[in-house]
């Protein structure tokens, strides 16, 4: 197998159903999803297998879903169905609710960090938010953009926030509250959520 093809040497790349410029917003979107996946892989190398066996299994599941999400974003063909399914979002919501119960109650915004794996999870969270913003931009120019990809990324960033707090909690490291934050959370949720 040869890794290089030379077909992208003039600034174009293949997607499912066509070719686009390498700086196309679609490529930016699925490329950023790939970046998230790499950070998830990094997080997995930083977690203790005994303490985080459940988390590691979930993160591997997330990696597969991120591949699905990226593939869906790269798909402009009418002949290929999207891979990402709604049950992936439902599962993330279940895990978020579990993590909110496991970690100490939260009233204020926190600073990213604590332990090394929690800091890496916060990086994954912020890159996920960037991917989400790029998908929103893509949706403004292309009606074929899979709406489920946007919902998944939105939920995934919340999942990472909740997970970072659980990782710190299981490692006995307290989250550091942002000192100038008002009380913005109630019962683990932001006050503006219903």
CATH value at residue 49: 1.20.1200.10
pLDDT band of 153, cuts 50, 70, 90: very high
Between CA 153 and CA 29 the distance in angstroms is 11
pLDDT band of 129, cuts 50, 70, 90: very high
pLDDT band of 190, cuts 50, 70, 90: low
Nearest Cα to Cα of residue 151 among 60, 82, 56, 98: 82
- Residue 94 inside a domain? The answer is yes
- Residue 30 inside a domain? The answer is yes
Q: What share of the chain has pLDDT > 70, as a percent?
A: 93
- Residue 14 inside a domain? The answer is no
Between CA 151 and CA 128 the distance in angstroms is 12
- Residue 122 inside a domain? The answer is yes
Instruction: Please compute, for residue 106, the number of CA atoms within 13 A of its CA located in the half-sphere on the CB side.
Output: 27
Q: Which residues have C-beta within 8 Å of that of residue 187, sequence separation ≥ 6?
A: 105
Helix axes 53-73, 25-46, angle to 10 degrees: 170
Q: What is the mean pLDDT of residues 37-64?
A: 98
CB atoms within 10 A of CB 51: 12
For the chain, how many structural domains are there in total? 1
Q: What is the mean pLDDT of residues 113-133?
A: 98
Q: What share of the chain has pLDDT > 90, as a percent?
A: 73
- The whole-model pTM stands at 0.91
Domain that holds residue 104: 20-75+83-190
- Residue 15 inside a domain? The answer is no
CB-neighbour burial class of residue 3 (10 A; exposed 0-12, middle 13-18, buried 19+): exposed
Between CA 125 and CA 90 the distance in angstroms is 18
**Residue positions counted in the chain:** 194
Q: What is the mean pLDDT of residues 90-111?
A: 95
- Residue 34 inside a domain? The answer is yes
- Residue 13 inside a domain? The answer is no
CA dihedral (168, 169, 170, 173) positive or negative: positive
- Residue 124 inside a domain? The answer is yes
């Amino acid at each position: 197998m040869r890794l290089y093809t030379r077909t992208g040497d003039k600034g174009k790349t293949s997607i499912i159903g066509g070719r686009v410029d390498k700086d196309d917003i679609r490529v930016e979107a699925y490329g950023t999803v790939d970046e998230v996946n790499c950070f998830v892989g990094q997080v997995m190398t930083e977690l203790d297998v005994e303490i985080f066996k459940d988390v590691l299994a979930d993160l591997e599941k997330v990696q597969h879903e991120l591949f699905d999400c990226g593939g869906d974003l790269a798909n402009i063909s009418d002949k290929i169905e999207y891979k990402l399914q709604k049950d992936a979002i439902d599962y993330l919501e279940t895990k978020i609710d579990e993590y909110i119960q496991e970690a100490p109650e939260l009233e204020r915004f926190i600073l990213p960090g604590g332990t090394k794996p929690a800091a890496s999870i916060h990086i994954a969270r912020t890159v996920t938010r960037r991917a989400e913003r790029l998908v929103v931009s893509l949706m403004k120019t292309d009606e074929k953009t899979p709406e489920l990809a946007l919902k998944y990324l939105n939920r995934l960033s919340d999942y990472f926030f909740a997970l970072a707090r659980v990782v710190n909690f299981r490692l006995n490291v307290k989250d550091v509250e942002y000192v100038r934050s008002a009380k913005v959370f109630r019962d683990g949720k932001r006050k503006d959520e219903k």
